């Protein structure tokens, strides 16, 4: 009797082990994605005073964590009743994205949060400005156009961005992403009597607050590297 029970037990163990080995194990893709921020070419087409381009990339290092990078350039002109200036320069942003979304098997969509550290090098060209006439009866501003525009180069800035957004696969390996960014200006290099008015990669600078809001709309293509 004992021999029969032992034989049955060994048979069950062997069958269970075989069944475990025969079940295929699911592996996830680890990839690198490259893309472009579509909002900047769109703005370049519809706004005469703006030109911009931003390339993006991310690399999956764990199941939930991605390294991310963005590099770009912007050229922005601002003409108002009080000021006429142009800003142009390049920037780079480095950081991480963390995926909060629990995908089904085979899906690689993202509900993400993360941060970026950004830095820029740029120049400002002042073409004209308004002078406040304090001794005038109506205290009007007198606009003064410069015969020779003043160029202020070798300017720089650094900031951090807090990010929330989504990335979803539209077609095989083609992803669309939208993210909102809260940008905080840490420091910027200025010249005497002329502040940074627009910083490439950061957006319009406000004297009232170091914070500003940005929006990215990206299209990215994924290149699978390995599975694990």
Q: From first to last of its 228 residues, what are the pLDDT tens digits of the chain?
A: 545 544 554 444 445 454 445 455 668 889 999 999 999 999 999 999 999 999 999 999 999 999 999 999 999 998 877 788 999 999 999 999 999 999 888 788 999 999 999 999 999 998 887 766 555 555 555 666 777 888 888 899 999 999 999 999 999 999 999 999 999 999 998 877 778 889 999 998 888 899 999 999 999 999 999 888
Residue 69 lies in a domain: yes
CATH number at residue 144: 2.40.160
Task: Give the total residue count for the chain.
Answer: 228
Residue 12 lies in a domain: no
Residue 181 lies in a domain: yes
Would you tell me how many other CB atoms lie within 10 Å of the CB of residue 168? 14
Residue 62 lies in a domain: yes
Residues spanned by the domain of 77: 35-227
Q: What is the rounded CA–CA span in Å between residue 120 and residue 147?
A: 29
Residue 1 lies in a domain: no
- Does the predicted TM-score (pTM) go above 0.85? no
Number of domains, the chain: 1
Tokens describing residue 93: 């942003």
Tokens describing residue 51: 């030109």
Residue 99 lies in a domain: yes
192 alpha carbon, distance to own chain's centre? 31
44-80 burial by CB neighbour count: b if 16+ within 10 A, else e? eeeeeeebbebebebebeeeeebebebebbbbbbeee
Residue 26 lies in a domain: no
Residue 175 lies in a domain: yes
Q: What is the rounded CA–CA span in Å between residue 22 and residue 31?
A: 28
């Amino acid at each position: 009797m004992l021999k029969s029970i032992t034989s049955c037990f060994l048979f069950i163990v062997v069958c269970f082990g075989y069944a475990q080995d025969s079940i295929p194990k699911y592996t996830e893709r680890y990839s690198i994605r490259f893309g472009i921020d579509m909002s900047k070419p769109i703005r370049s087409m519809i706004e005469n005073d703006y030109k911009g381009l931003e390339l993006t990339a991310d690399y999956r290092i764990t199941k939930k964590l991605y390294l991310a990078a963005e590099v770009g350039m912007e050229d922005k002109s601002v003409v108002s009743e009080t000021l006429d200036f142009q800003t142009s320069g390049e920037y780079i942003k480095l950081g991480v994205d963390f995926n909060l979304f629990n995908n089904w098997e085979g899906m690689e969509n993202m509900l993400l949060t993360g941060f970026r550290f950004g830095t820029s090098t740029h120049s400002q060209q002042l073409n004209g400005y308004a002078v406040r006439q304090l001794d005038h009866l109506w205290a009007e501003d007198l606009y003064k156009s410069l015969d020779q525009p003043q160029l202020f180069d070798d300017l720089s800035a650094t900031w951090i961005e807090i990010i929330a957004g989504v990335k979803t696969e539209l077609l095989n390996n083609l992803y669309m992403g939208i993210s909102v960014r809260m940008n905080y200006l840490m420091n910027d290099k200025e010249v005497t009597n002329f502040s940074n008015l627009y910083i490439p990669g950061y957006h319009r600078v406000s004297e009232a607050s170091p914070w500003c809001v940005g929006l990215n709309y990206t299209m990215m293509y994924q290149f699978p590297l390995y599975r694990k």
